[in-house]
Amino acid sequence: MIPLLMFASGVVVGAAALRLLKSATVPEEWRGAGTTARTGVDRAQAAVREATLSGLSAVERTSAGLRARLTPEPAAPADAEAVPEAAPAPEARTATPDEPPAAPVRRRRPRKAAPPTPADGGDA
């Protein structure tokens, strides 16, 4: 019951406050406060915009510099005679018919230790 009374009293006080606000007149010195606040907000917005633009231009310059460093320079075409020939491939060792081909060596990961059993003196 108490929450219902609190709600009802809030509604009544709110309605009374609205009637007073509608009928009250605003003093003359308060009317200029809105335009002053608006100019302050406009200045802050312009400062944030300038900071954003300078940050974005710095990122653009940095990325252009990195792109220039990372892109390979095109090789100038040299004389056709100056191009080195491909080195001959080393001869692969072939297995003789008597021996099987060698399998590649693979290292195995060591196995995990098995949990102790009651026979080994461990808990079950």
- What distance in Å separates the CA atoms of residue 8 and residue 15, rounded to the nearest whole number? 11
pLDDT number for residue 50: 95
Averaged over successive runs of 10 residues, the pLDDT of the chain (124 residues) comes to 88 92 77 80 94 94 91 65 56 61 75 78 61
Determine if the pTM surpasses 0.75.
Answer: no
Contact 102, 95 (CB under 8 A): yes
Domain coordinates in residue numbering, the chain: 40-66
Beta-carbon contacts of residue 115 (< 8 Å; ≥ 6 apart)? 122
